[in-house]
A = this chain, B = another copy of it.
Amino acid sequence: MATVSIIGTGNMGQAIADVVTKGGHDAELIAHAEADKPVTGEIVVLAVPYPAVADVLAARGDSLDGKIVVDITNPLDFQTFDSLTVPADSSATAQIAAALPRSRVLKAFNTTFAATLAAGTVGDLTTTVLIAGDDADAKSELAGVVTSGGLRAVDAGSLDRARELESLGFLQLTLAVNEKVSWTGGFGIAA
């Protein structure tokens, strides 16, 4: 059984906690403001908006050493909905990985809306969590938690692919905001 610490208690944090507990694992939900509360999980999910990540890392940096750190952010310019706020040849995940050289940083959950994590489906397709990262064991451990929670997990490749996952998350958010898809739909993946 894994313990998954989730920093951020918004709709994504809560949806991920539900997937974790559905699979028989322990979820530890920690509010962003509870900066003094230690994380006990071997997997730590950063479920805060991207602009708040630096704060979390500043408060908790060393305590994340050796842990699997999961970045779920979509670093959008939410004023314009017309661009990402990270450099075009980088990603939020790459920046987090650079800030946490002793953690095993993964990208995941940024391409699934909270509602499709909760429902377990996108249309008739099982909700798929795309996971990118350079540590195969870490990806496999997170995939185990995801699949035991009733979802599909797909290894999307190296940490470099976080950039494409962020593009996909961005695209999906623009489609939802422009009412081309609903917040209960979006991109599904057929095997």
Contact of B185 with A190 in the complex, beta carbons under 8 Å: yes
Residue total for A at the interface (Cβ-Cβ under 8 A)? 37
Contact of B157 with A164 in the complex, beta carbons under 8 Å: no
Q: Looking across the interface, which residue of chain B has its beta carbon closest to that of A83?
A: B160
Contacting A160 at CB < 8 Å: which of B82, B165, B187?
B82
Known A167-B168, A170-B164: A122·B190 in contact at CB below 8 Å: yes
Contact of A189 with B191 in the complex, beta carbons under 8 Å: no
Question: Which of chain B's residues have a CB closer than 8 A to the CB of A182?
Answer: 191
Contact of A180 with B154 in the complex, beta carbons under 8 Å: yes
| A residues 164-185 touching B (CB-CB < 8 Å) | 164-165, 167-168, 170-171, 174-175, 178, 180-182, 184-185
| A residues 98-146 touching B (CB-CB < 8 Å) | 122-125
Contact of A180 with B155 in the complex, beta carbons under 8 Å: yes
Greatest chain B CB density within 10 A among A156, A161, A164 is at: A164
Q: Looking across the interface, which residue of chain B has its beta carbon closest to that of A121?
A: B190
Tell me the minimal C-beta distance from A82 to chain B in angstroms: 7
A36 within 8 A of B: no
A186 within 8 A of B: yes
Q: Looking across the interface, which residue of chain B has its beta carbon closest to that of A158?
A: B82
Question: Which of chain B's residues have a CB closer than 8 A to the CB of A188?
Answer: 122-123, 125, 187-190
Given contacts A165-B171, A188-B188, A188-B190, 14 further A-B contacts (CB under 8 A): A82-B160, A88-B88, A88-B89, A89-B89, A122-B190, A155-B178, A155-B180, A161-B171, A167-B167, A175-B189, A181-B189, A181-B190, A181-B191, A186-B189
CB<8 Å pairs between A and B, sample of 9: A83-B160, A87-B88, A156-B171, A156-B180, A157-B174, A157-B178, A187-B187, A188-B188, A188-B190
